[in-house]
Structure formats: structure tokens, C-alpha cells
């Protein structure tokens, strides 16, 4: 009982600070390997554990359903050797609206049309062996491998994510970094955070283009 009360009390406190863009949540560790502009950088993330929900694309309704499933998981809809556990909220929340394409494309592949994927990254203290298992089969635990990602940071409501993703790809043009996957969006703040204080990021997996030797 006390664990439940304290868990939600912390969430309320975090929400109050979150209105003003103050984030008390854990973030995945990364190293900045390049800066292309004031608002664009290339990061290298270590492998991370995440809870993921994949649903047919359905706009805000699908996103709300996915968020609720993931929140229920961290709030106790899970099981472990010690019973259900409360899992601390982390940021960012990753949202990928992926249109399924041919098997040769370097993005996720499926036969089921269009899918939206949402991920909560688990606190670093958890591993696949220690993380509680979801009660709902729609919530999957996945290990996100080490990856290098280009990021474009912006504020606002985040509804212009498609344009921001396009801007990020344009920033990469002519650089030594080239996209190797589909773009997605990272959200760091709750909907009630003041828009001009929000942190959103357009993201895309990248690799360093091979250098070519000048002709002799």
C-alpha cells in the first residue's frame, strides 16, 4: 500500500515540475560524437532495454492506447519473482510511425500494413533477467542494440514532427553522416508542459559515409 502511495506521489511531484520543463526522470546515457549545427547532433547510444507496444496506425487514438498500455506496465501490470513492481518513469518516449516496406529496406519489416510503435526505455538498473514481465501480451520487452543516431532538437507541441524529420534529413545532406533507417520522434515532456519549454527530438539512425581516396 505504502509503495503504491509513494509511487504516485512521486509521479505527481514530477508532473508539477514538468509543467515548467523541469525533468526529474532518468535518461539513457549517450555520447555526442558530432555536432552539425546548434540544434543538430549525432549521438551514440549503448544497448538499452525498452518496453514496446506495436499497434495499427490510428492517429492520436492509437498513441493514447499505446501510452496507456505502457504506463499500466510500469505502474504494476507486470510480474516478477517478487510480485508486481512499480517501474520508474524515464524519458524520452520513442514514437515510430512506420510504413512497412520491402524486405530489402533497412527499417522494420512486416506483412501487416502500417504500424505505430511506442517505447518506454526502462531504468538502467534493469536487465532482461531482472525486468518484470508484462501482464499484457501487447507489451513486449526488447533490447535496443547500440546505435548511432542523428538528432534535431525543437520545442513546441511536437505535432509538426514530420516536418522536423524532413529538416533533420536535409541537415544531413552533404555531411559525412547518412541515414540508414526510418526517422522517428522522441518526446521528453508531458502534454501539460508549457509548449515553449518542451523538448522534442526528430531522430534517425545514421552511419558515417566511407571516405573515398582522390584519384591518383
Which H, E and C letters describe 200-215, residue by residue?
EEEEEEEEECCCCCCC
Mean pLDDT for 3-10 is 54
Average pLDDT of the chain to the nearest whole number: 82
- Give the other-Cβ count within 10 Å of 51's Cβ: 24
pLDDT bin (cut points 50, 70, 90) of residue 132 is very high
Asked which of 5-9, 60-64, 155-159, 171-175 is least confident by mean pLDDT, the reply is: 5-9
Query: Which residue carries 515548467 as its cell?
Result: 20
User: What's the CA gap between 198 and 188, in Å, rounded?
Assistant: 7
User: What's the CA gap between 30 and 42, in Å, rounded?
Assistant: 10
Statement: 2-208 belongs to CATH 3.20.80.10: yes
57-111 pLDDT, tens digit each: 777 888 889 999 999 999 999 998 888 888 988 888 898 864 333 322 222 222 2
Q: What is the pLDDT of residue 81?
A: 80
Mean pLDDT for 2-20 is 53
The length of the chain in residues reads: 216
- List beta partners, residue 40: 37, 152
Amino acid at each position: 500500500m505504502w509503495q503504491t502511495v509513494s509511487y504516485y506521489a512521486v509521479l505527481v511531484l514530477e508532473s508539477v515540475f514538468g509543467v515548467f520543463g523541469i525533468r526529474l526522470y532518468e535518461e539513457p546515457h549517450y555520447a555526442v560524437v558530432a555536432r552539425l549545427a546548434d540544434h543538430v547532433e549525432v549521438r551514440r547510444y549503448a544497448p538499452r532495454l525498452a518496453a514496446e507496444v506495436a499497434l495499427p496506425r490510428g492517429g492520436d487514438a492509437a498513441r493514447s492506447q499505446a501510452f496507456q498500455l505502457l504506463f499500466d506496465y510500469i505502474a504494476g501490470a507486470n510480474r516478477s519473482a517478487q510480485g508486481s513492481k512499480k517501474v520508474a518513469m524515464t524519458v524520452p518516449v520513442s514514437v515510430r510511425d512506420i510504413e512497412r516496406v520491402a524486405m530489402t529496406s533497412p527499417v522494420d519489416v512486416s506483412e501487416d500494413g502500417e504500424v505505430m510503435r511506442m517505447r518506454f526505455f526502462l531504468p538502467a538498473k534493469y536487465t532482461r533477467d531482472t525486468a518484470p514481465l508484462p501482464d499484457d501480451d501487447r507489451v513486449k520487452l526488447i533490447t535496443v542494440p547500440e546505435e548511432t543516431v542523428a538528432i534535431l532538437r525543437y520545442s513546441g507541441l511536437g505535432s509538426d514532427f514530420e516536418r522536423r524529420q524532413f529538416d533533420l534529413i536535409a541537415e544531413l545532406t552533404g555531411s559525412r553522416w547518412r541515414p540508414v533507417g526510418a526517422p522517428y520522434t522522441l518526446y521528453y515532456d508531458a502534454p501539460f508542459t508549457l509548449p515553449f519549454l518542451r523538448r522534442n527530438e526528430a531522430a534517425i539512425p545514421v552511419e558515417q559515409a566511407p571516405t573515398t581516396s582522390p584519384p591518383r
